[in-house]
Amino acid sequence: MSTLKLPLLYVGTKGERTINTLFDCSANMSYISPVYLENLTEARPLGRKRKITIACGTQFIEVKEVVCLDFYINDILLSDEFFIVSEPDPSVVIGAATIRKWRIKLNFEADQVEVDPKVAIMQIK
């Protein structure tokens, strides 16, 4: 499995916190456990419930809520939506959709995550 785990700073409407985050190419979407949302941000309901599979399991999980969070990789501001999922461990995962969106490069040999600042600036502004 292609994964890296690093602490990232997350910023929401209520505050900020550093959370150990798993970068997982086999997870399609990004998700977060509700335990990390206290004093960070409020969840909002999805228009339609979704059933997704996560990388660590083969069964479907029903997702009803989502949050939008800013996060920093190497002091570069990025932002994305995270499905709220209480099942998996680790509890914060950056999935393939977010990795592709921000053109994040995973360097498994050096255990590093790389982001081109030009890509972030073009999409945030």
Residue spans of the domains in the chain: they are 3-124
SS (H, E, C) 34-73: HHHCCCCCCCEEEEEEEEECCCCCCCCEEEEEEEEEEEEE
> Does the pLDDT value for residue 66 go beyond 80?
yes
- 3-124 is classed CATH 2.40.70.10: yes
Cα dihedral sign, 111-21-80-72: negative
In angstroms, rounded to a whole number, what is the distance separating the alpha carbons of residues 12 and 116?
23
Mind listing the pLDDT tens digit for each residue in 17-60? 999 999 988 888 899 999 999 999 999 999 898 887 775 666 77
Q: Rounded to an integer, what distance in angstroms lies between the CA atom of residue 6 and that of residue 119?
A: 21
pLDDT of residue 103: 93
